[in-house]
Amino acid sequence: MIDCGEGTQQQMLRYGIKYHKIDHIFISHLHGDHFFGLIGLISSMHLNGRTKPLFLFCPAELKTILDLQFLHSGTVIKFPIEYYFTNTQASETILETNDFTVDTFVLNHRIPCTGFFFKQKLKLRKILKDKVSEIGIPNAYFPLLKRGIDYKDADGNIYKANQLTTDPDVPRSYAYCSDTLADGSYLSEIQGVDTLYHESTFMHDMVDRAKETFHTTAFEAAQIAKKLDADKLLIGHFSARYRDLTPLLLEAREVFPETYLANEGETFMI
């Protein structure tokens, strides 16, 4: 989960997202619309009997806020919360698994704020089961084939790994740009990202207001996506003044056609 505003639990219930499936939560900064739902979510996990750890990547001050709320509500959380305090001054890798890495990058907002860059790792080659069965290659050799190592049978025949396997899927990436000025300072950190989420609080006729509040316009977000050579742009974090979001979408699409509204409940393929 990335950021956790008010109403998060209601939306989880609405879209059938289970509490126990969430193990990692990333909080970009400490404005309320990005973390006010967290105390309720953690409390519900506690009441529902969670025992496995929750990994929370966030500004250091968030622990103080949560600890104070738990203290004065007499709540003793029954599961471990493993904190990783983000560095709001420099980019860093904050999580690495067998499948992906998560890096932070520094954004320019009114208070310290980080974006998150999710990068899938290159997987091993895929076995062509029909071909290896025909040759009679033992299963124990499959890991070597996946790594590109040729197979030699008892008669000395050599079978090329690249003929018995296919290329893995191309790794994909996703960048989450939370609240920020569109100053371009973070572009080098996420160059070539496949899917970009970028805040687009205002239309460009309010660019002065955007700069005053350290936010981005839909036009600027589209320019950023174009500079990054992204495949897809998702825009969100719209000002409440916009009842109809179509003008923001059209403004962005004039610059970057593959732009979509990050509407509640919609699913996008990275």
Active site residues: 33
Q: How far is CA 249 from CA 183, 187, 224, in A?
A: 21, 22, 15
Closest CA to 189 of 217, 224, 222: 224
Separate counts of helices (H) and strands (E) for the chain: 9, 14
Name 69's Cβ contacts closer than 8 Å, sequence gap at least 6. Answer: 39, 75
Q: Whole-angstrom Cα distance, residue 173 to residue 195?
A: 6
Count Cβ atoms within 10 A of the Cβ of residue 261 and give its class: 0-12 exposed, 13-18 middle, 19 or more buried. Answer: middle
